[in-house]
Amino acid sequence: MPSADVIGTRQNDPGTFFYSVFGLTFRSDLPLSELPQASHFGGSPDCDLYFNRALHPGFPLSKRVLSFESSFKDAKGEPCLRIFSLAEGAYSQMSYSDGHQFWLSRTGKEVWATWPEGSCLEEAIAYLLGPVLGVLLRYRGVVCLHGSAVARDGRAAVFVGPPGAGKSTTAAALAQRGYTLLADDIAALGERDGAFYVHPGYPGLSLWPKSLELLYGAQRPELRPRVDGDKACLSTAQGLRFESCALPLDRIYILDSGEADSSSSSNANSAQDRFLSLISNTYATSILDASMRADELVVLGRLASQIPIHRIAWDRGPGALERRCDFVISNGGQLG
């Protein structure tokens, strides 16, 4: 592992690089080309990012308390991610089995990152933009749906569903039909004047090789995953357009994996059905304590009562993605 300065042994240098993502302003001690810059920013940042530095709040690591263990295993059978509570809950450590380490203050105002020998900042950023910032948003009390968001005519739609349901693929297919992209994997929500908004994520959309082939055929871009075994990330270099402002949430689509001969759609009509559907499709709920979960349920109750929610079940046969997009466009092509 590269030498990592220990916080407290020297004065923190918060850096002078400012970025805006998920509705927050980040100050970094290194330039980050993957994040959109926060232009004309003159206030205090929401969060400081420290790279190649480890947190050491002054207590033995043996006092770490395991609070989460991923069900996904690496090649050695070890959990891909473990999260530990430190300093009686003041900090959390996200420890990846490949050696990447992140420390977060539970206030959501600071993140420290180190990476193993043979890795680099680019690979660390891949983790930061996904699970790490997802956890940080939850610590800050932001309700996040586990899904991808697109926009048209100033309105946003979010696609949620289980892994492999096609959230990112559907968003990419709609982008080919003129929609712009708002967020991928994490749809961070906000409320203002009684309305819900979706905050823009980073300008990237990650797809598996099979999805790239489905969308682009022989013309698919040759992209290298930033982390071995992960998805490849599309960006503006592939002609995608990304929104930079928070937009009103117009509707939510729940993508269900249906049987091979299944092709149907329906409204989630009952309030209970809408509410339960949202509960099962929020991001990083496993790290929430009882108080945080209670606050989230209140927000989801308001969301379920205000936003139309549609359930879509499609087969995976020829033309399935096209039919899914046709339904979305006919159901809410103007999103409003």
The pLDDT tens digits of the residues spanning 5-14 come to 444 333 455 5
Are 188 and 261 part of one and the same domain? yes
Evaluate whether 170 touches 181 at the Cβ level (below 8 Å). no
Are 197 and 101 part of one and the same domain? no
Q: If pLDDT is split at 50, 70 and 90, which confidence band does 94 have? A: very high
At which of 115, 139, 163 does a domain end? 139
Q: Which domain holds residue 187?
A: 144-332
Per the model's pLDDT, the better-predicted residue between 23 and 256 turns out to be 23
pLDDT value of position 259: 44
The pLDDT tens digits of the residues spanning 60-89 come to 666 789 999 999 898 899 999 999 999 888
CATH at 310: 3.40.50
Least confident of 131-140, 206-215, 254-263, 304-313: 254-263
The pLDDT tens digits of the residues spanning 280-332 come to 999 999 889 899 999 999 999 999 999 999 888 766 767 888 988 988 888 75
Tell me what the mean pLDDT of segment 182-194 comes to. Answer: 95
Tokens read off for 62? 């043996």
- The C-alpha atoms of residue 104 and residue 84 are separated, in whole angstroms, by 10
Looking at the chain, the whole-number percentage of residues with pLDDT higher than 70 is 85
Beta bridge partners of 50: 112
Look-up of token digits 């050696």:
99
Are 93 and 205 part of one and the same domain? no
Q: How many residues appear in the chain? A: 336
Pairing of strands 247-257, 195-198: antiparallel
pLDDT value of position 315: 65
Tell me what the mean pLDDT of segment 125-141 comes to. Answer: 95
Q: Which of 26, 4, 2, 5 is nearest to 15 (CA)?
A: 26
Are 312 and 280 part of one and the same domain? yes
At which of 139, 171, 187 does a domain end? 139
Per the model's pLDDT, the better-predicted residue between 247 and 335 turns out to be 247
Are 164 and 47 part of one and the same domain? no
Looking at the chain, the whole-number percentage of residues with pLDDT higher than 90 is 58
Evaluate whether 39 touches 245 at the Cβ level (below 8 Å). no
229-260 burial code (b ≥16 CB/10 A, e <16): eebbbbbeebebebbeebbbbbbbbbbbebee
Are 65 and 175 part of one and the same domain? no
Residue 26 clears pLDDT 90, i.e. is over it: yes
- The C-alpha atoms of residue 61 and residue 137 are separated, in whole angstroms, by 25
Q: If pLDDT is split at 50, 70 and 90, which confidence band does 225 have? A: confident
Q: If pLDDT is split at 50, 70 and 90, which confidence band does 57 have? A: low
Per the model's pLDDT, the better-predicted residue between 165 and 247 turns out to be 247
Q: How many domains does the chain have?
A: 2
Are 99 and 230 part of one and the same domain? no
CA 121 to chain centre: 19
Are 21 and 111 part of one and the same domain? yes
Residue 269 clears pLDDT 90, i.e. is over it: no
Residue 4 clears pLDDT 50, i.e. is over it: no
Tell me what the mean pLDDT of segment 26-50 comes to. Answer: 88
Residue 210 clears pLDDT 60, i.e. is over it: yes
User: What pTM was estimated for this model as a whole?
Assistant: 0.88
Q: If pLDDT is split at 50, 70 and 90, which confidence band does 219 have? A: confident
Are 237 and 291 part of one and the same domain? yes
pLDDT value of position 62: 64
Q: Which of 124, 121, 173 is nearest to 150 (CA)?
A: 173
Are 156 and 290 part of one and the same domain? yes
At which of 89, 119, 139 does a domain end? 139
pLDDT value of position 263: 40
Range 20-26, long-range pairs (CB < 8 A, 24+ positions): 21/129, 21/133, 21/200, 21/201, 21/202, 22/133, 22/137, 22/142, 22/183, 22/186, 22/188, 22/199, 22/200, 22/201, 23/142, 23/188, 23/190, 23/199, 23/200, 23/246, 24/137, 24/140
Q: Which of 133, 101, 77, 124 is nearest to 284 (CA)?
A: 133
Are 286 and 150 part of one and the same domain? yes
- The C-alpha atoms of residue 139 and residue 142 are separated, in whole angstroms, by 7
Are 247 and 274 part of one and the same domain? yes
- The C-alpha atoms of residue 274 and residue 307 are separated, in whole angstroms, by 9
pLDDT value of position 274: 86
